[in-house]
């Protein structure tokens, strides 16, 4: 069993004596407060924080991180307070401990919300001090190593959380050794039988491969010596989880995954890396499209290496990674290499530490834009993509984006304002759909206009969390301002029915109403009305202290109709069941959370509205109505080749636009086509139908109204 003496002996190799004494004091403080507490395995609880400190000592972490590791559960699980920890060990250690501690004093609605809130708290602490995440990852690693004693349900939950969040975070921070252990332990906990089968198959395959691996290793070694290149060659073994993922994703059997031989060549400097690459390509034939230069363009987590795949003897593929000793250290330890290999040199632009700080900054931006902790954790999960594409700006700068990113993601990566005002994109000087995934090496130019704004449909294809959170943030604030404006119009209309208006109300009256409904500002009340959550008529009566009966007696007439201009935005929508267009008789339905849904007066879905009259308001089309509106028409025509093209051409010539087409066969000779077209009003629709009637093959045209 590990002891504090073993730990201090180990730490004395790189820490001063004063620091090791402070670490010992932190241990005894934690041991005292955890006295009487035991782990599920039966061991004293203090063995867990001691093991976490051991993991951090392997990375040569500083004394404050090690003290935080020993104390990381005292605030959460004992009567010790943050103030007590700060007084005894300093405010920095107290902040580190608090950053790792869960929020225990608040009861949440569900485990998912609690997990999301705790994760948000940790991320915010992490952005202040990156050591928080190193303590947390070490804590999680020891918990994963001792997962076997837990109940199966809890074991699966912790393993899933590790695979979804902590393994990707370790990868994002360049800590490859942590990531591999997280993935293999999580895989074994979630799918024990699959893990055992793959492990047995790997052991068997290694026995068969040893001779080939040795031969390949000797051949590569000999060629490097002949070329006077000083390097060491090590064979590379895929870990269990990566084998499982590759089998599942590429739908290949185990034998096809394991027939790839991997080697890593470690050299002295970057020049030698490229010389080694040339030597390998002279020795074995390179496979086209399988070369990646992560030295010139490092990965987002700071990883640097040359990757190539070549054909060995009998066409056997060989994966070769070539890197320097420093890159090897970075690949395995990521930001932890900052402490493990300390130097006085300034951090290079590609250093994992600076990359990690850039990521932290982006997390802070995402947190500020997120509406809730669940939305935040969803965006962070999206951000933890392992693969990148490298896109060039028109000026030749390189932006790293997740695989599958679109021009919209690129626009938001350049600047939030560029994303918000994006209307089109040129990819390699050609206009490209905004939803088309980008490929590495492409040059992207974003076309913007001052009046443009994000489209809600972008949320269905954007990949990056920055784009997603900024689009949501913009739409939420736009919807909010539109809701306030509509709420004001609705409340004024209801007040005018009672011979009053918002301008006539005193501040005291409005203040009383806000207190009664639990709102802080007038805009919050108006927004709630605009979203259809509260009835404007009821609010108006209560503002004027009128009862239902007196209001009915004094009401001068019917509620004034609300004029629809078509510029109200997201709080007024048009029903898909009846497709109302300017010129139709219409009625408004107050839908909670959506605002007003406008239906045609004859729509089947609003029949019997007299029984729920409070949910409906009179609306009319404004004289200044703008925009295009969808109308549905049904066309019966003879079954002839090219008929669809003729119909689409006729609609286009009438300055209308075809939104969707649905064709069904009525008989052997006749087809029925349902079209949804965009028009400005009933007159425009009539012009389009008139053009269609001129087509000889069409026998009948009707507008679908419900």
- Render 159-173 in DSSP notation, one character per residue: HHHIIIIIHHHHHHT
Angle between helices 131-145 and 47-58 (to 10 degrees): 120
State yes or no: is 184 an active-site residue.
no
- Active site residue: 77, 524, 601, 681, which one? 77
Contacting residues for 324 by C-beta, under 8 A, at least 6 apart = 266, 267, 268, 269, 270, 272, 273
User: In 428-577, at which residue ranges do the beta strands (DSSP E only) sit?
Assistant: 430-432, 444-448, 562-564, 572-574
**b/e for 216-247, b at 16 or more Cβ within 10 A?**
beeebeebbeeeebebebeeeebebbebbebb
Contacting residues for 483 by C-beta, under 8 A, at least 6 apart = 526, 527, 528, 530, 531, 571, 595
Q: State the DSSP code for 225.
A: H
- Active site residue: 31, 62, 76, 199, which one? 76
- Render 648-687 in DSSP notation, one character per residue: HHHHHHTT-EEEEEEEEE-SSSEEEEEEEEEESSHHHHHH
User: In 325-442, at which residue ranges do the beta strands (DSSP E only) sit?
Assistant: 388-392, 398-402, 422-427, 430-432
Q: Where does 561-641 have alpha helices with state H?
A: none
Contacting residues for 551 by C-beta, under 8 A, at least 6 apart = 498, 541
Q: Is 402 helix (H, G, I), strand (E, B) or coil?
A: strand
Q: Is 324 helix (H, G, I), strand (E, B) or coil?
A: strand
φ and ψ at residue 319, rounded to 5 degrees: -90, 125
From the centroid of its chain, how far is CA 419? 17
Rounded CA gap, 335 and 331, in Å? 10
State yes or no: is 76 an active-site residue.
yes
Q: Which residues are catalytic?
A: 76-77
């Amino acid at each position: 069993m590990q002891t504090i003496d073993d730990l201090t002996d180990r730490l004395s190799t790189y820490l001063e004596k004063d620091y090791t004494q402070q670490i010992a004091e932190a241990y005894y403080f934690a041991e005292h407060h955890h006295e009487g507490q035991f782990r599920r395995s039966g061991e004293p609880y203090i063995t867990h924080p001691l093991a976490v400190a051991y993991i951090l000592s392997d990375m040569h972490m500083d004394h404050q991180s090690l003290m935080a590791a020993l104390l990381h559960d005292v605030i959460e699980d004992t009567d010790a307070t943050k103030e007590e920890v700060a007084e005894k060990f300093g405010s920095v250690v107290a902040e580190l401990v608090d950053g790792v501690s869960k929020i225990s004093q608040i009861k949440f609605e569900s485990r998912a919300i609690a997990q999301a809130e705790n994760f948000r708290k940790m991320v915010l602490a992490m952005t202040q001090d990156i050591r928080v995440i190193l303590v947390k990852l070490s804590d999680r690693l020891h918990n994963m190593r001792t997962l076997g004693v837990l109940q199966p349900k809890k074991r699966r939950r912790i393993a899933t959380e590790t695979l979804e969040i902590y393994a990707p975070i370790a990868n994002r921070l360049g800590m490859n050794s942590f990531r591999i252990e997280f993935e293999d332990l999580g895989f074994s906990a979630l799918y024990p039988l699959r893990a055992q089968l793959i492990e047995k198959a790997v052991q068997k395959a290694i026995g068969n491969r040893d001779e080939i691996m040795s031969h390949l290793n000797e051949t590569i070694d000999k060629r490097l010596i002949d070329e006077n290149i000083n390097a060491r060659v090590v064979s590379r073994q895929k870990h269990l989880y990566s084998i499982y993922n590759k089998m599942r994703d590429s739908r290949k059997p185990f034998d096809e995954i394991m027939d790839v031989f991997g080697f890593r060549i470690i050299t002295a400097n970057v020049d030698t890396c490229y010389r080694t690459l040339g030597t390998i390509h002279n020795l074995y034939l390179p496979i086209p499209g399988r070369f990646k230069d992560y030295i010139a363009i490092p990965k987002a987590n700071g990883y640097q290496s040359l990757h190539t795949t070549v054909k060995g003897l009998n066409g056997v593929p060989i994966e070769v990674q070539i890197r320097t000793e420093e890159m090897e250290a970075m690949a395995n330890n990521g930001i932890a290499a900052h402490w493990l290999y300390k130097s006085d040199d300034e951090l290079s632009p590609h250093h994992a530490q600076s990359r990690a700080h850039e990521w932290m900054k982006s997390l802070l931006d995402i947190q500020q834009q997120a509406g809730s902790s669940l939305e935040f954790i969803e965006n962070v999960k999206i951000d933890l993509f392992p693969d990148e594409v490298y896109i060039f700006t028109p000026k030749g700068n390189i932006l790293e984006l997740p695989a599958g990113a679109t021009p919209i993601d690129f626009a938001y990566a350049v600047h939030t304002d560029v994303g918000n005002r994006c209307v089109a994109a040129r990819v390699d000087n050609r206009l490209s759909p905004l939803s088309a995934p980008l490929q590495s090496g492409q040059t992207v130019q974003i076309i913007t206009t001052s009046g443009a704004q994000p489209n809600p449909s972008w949320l269905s294809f954007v990949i990056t969390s920055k784009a997603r959170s900024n689009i949501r943030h913009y739409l939420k604030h736009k919807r909010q301002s539109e809701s306030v404006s509509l709420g004001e119009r609705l409340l004024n209309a209801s007040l005018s029915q009672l011979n009053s208006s918002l301008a006539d109300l005193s501040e005291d009256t409005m203040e009383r109403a806000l207190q009664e409904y639990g709102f802080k500002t007038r805009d919050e009340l108006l927004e709630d009305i605009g979203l259809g959550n509260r009835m404007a008529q009821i609010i108006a009566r209560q503002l004027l202290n009128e009862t239902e009966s007196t209001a009915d007696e004094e009401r001068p007439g019917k509620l004034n109709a609300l004029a629809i201009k078509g510029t109200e935005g997201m709080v007024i929508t048009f029903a898909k069941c009846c497709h109302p267009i300017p010129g139709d008789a219409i009625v408004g339905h107050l839908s909670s959370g959506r605002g007003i849904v406008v239906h045609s007066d004859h729509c089947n879905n609003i029949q019997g509205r007299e029984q729920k009259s409070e949910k409906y308001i009179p609306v009319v089309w404004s004289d200044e109505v703008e925009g295009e509106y969808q109308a549905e028409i049904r066309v019966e025509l003879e079954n002839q080749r090219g008929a669809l093209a003729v119909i689409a051409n006729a609609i286009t010539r009438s300055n209308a636009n075809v939104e969707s087409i649905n064709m069904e066969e009525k008989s052997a000779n006749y087809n029925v086509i349902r079209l949804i077209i965009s028009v400005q009003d009933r007159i425009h629709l009539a012009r389009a139908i008139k053009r269609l009637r001129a087509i000889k093959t069409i026998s009948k045209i009707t507008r679908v109204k419900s």
